Amino acid sequence: MNTLAINNVTYKYGKTTKSVLKNVTANFEKGVLYCIVGKSGAGKSTLLSLISGLDLCTSGAVLYENEDLSTMNRDEYRARNIGVIFQGYNLLTNCSAVENIVLSMNISNCRERCPQRSAKEHVYSLLEKLGIDKETANRKVLKLSGGEQQRVGIARALSNNPEIIIADEPTGNLDGETAKGIMDIFVKLAHEENKCVIIVTHSKDVAAYADQIMRIVNGKLEVQNK
């Protein structure tokens, strides 16, 4: 069974006649790292918003474990089943890095599996793996660099141990070494922890890590042989 399936999805913005995505069909499975590439404005972020349940397609269906997202509780879906890493980080600026992630864990209810104290420790440990020490983790997000914020965003997406990880330019603001480290984590998540990892990127270096590359051209999705 496919973890995620996109069946003939078409998307138009508002009342426009032009479709951003046209009859897009794709399947996503666990244990695979996918990269979606394409020019700016091709519809990559739009596809990302559809598969993350932030928006609904104009026609067609996005299925999660054979269940149509349009009929599901998409808040639950975003909280428990997926982890989204946004291009603009989308962190709560008046909270610290730790607070951002602990709140996300509370929303997804994954804290019921671990009490208060160990949840914070879990977050510190997660951030440490991404190169953020405890002191930095306790700072307000606005006082972090772009790269640090990006890593906090990644940590937040991973904090609830989702089955599907969706990332929009996750290494955009990171230096080469850190970016490599992040990509190694994504590979490990896909191959060792059997997650379905979907990354939208412009970077060829990032695309090189993918098990499967999909290209959006003129609103259509093409699967490319690696």
Binding site for other proteins (CB under 8 A): 49, 54-55, 75-80, 84, 86-88, 90-95, 99, 103-104, 106-108, 111, 156
Left (φ > 0), alpha (ψ -120 to 50) or beta: where does 142 sit?
Answer: alpha
Of 3 and 212, nearer to other proteins (C-beta) is 3
* Residue closer to other proteins (CB basis): 107 or 207: 107
Closest contact distance (angstroms) between CB of 60 and other proteins is 18
Q: Among residues 79 and 190, whose Cβ is nearest to other proteins?
A: 79
Residue type, 122: H
The nearest distance, CB 177 to other proteins, in angstroms, is: 28
Between 61 and 95, CB nearer to other proteins: 95
Sheet holding 82-85, edge to edge: 82-85, 164-168, 196-200, 33-38, 212-217, 220-224
**Percent helix, strand and coil across the chain, each rounded to 5?**
40, 25, 35
With respect to other proteins, which residue has the nearer C-beta, 139 or 191? 139
Q: Which is nearer to other proteins, 90 or 178 (CB)?
A: 90
Shortest spacing between CB 99 and other proteins, in angstroms? 8
- Give me the least distance between CB of 223 and other proteins, in Å please: 26
Give the nearest distance from C-beta 219 to other proteins in angstroms. 19
Q: Report angle CA 138, 81, 38 to the nearest 5 degrees.
A: 90
What is the smallest separation between the CB atom of 66 and other proteins, expressed in angstroms? 21
CB of 49 to other proteins, least distance (A): 6
Please state whether beta strands 82-85 and 164-168 pair in parallel, antiparallel, or not at all (unpaired): parallel
Nearest C-alpha neighbor of 158 from the set 139, 130, 178: 130
CB 130 within 8 A of CB 180: no
The pair of three-digit structure tokens given for residue 148, joined into one six-digit string: 């640090």
161 Rama class: left (phi>0) / alpha (psi -120 to 50) / beta: left
Nearest partner of 88 among 165, 157, 146, 17, judged by Cα: 146
In the bound state with other proteins, the residue whose beta carbon lies nearer, of 7 and 87, is: 87
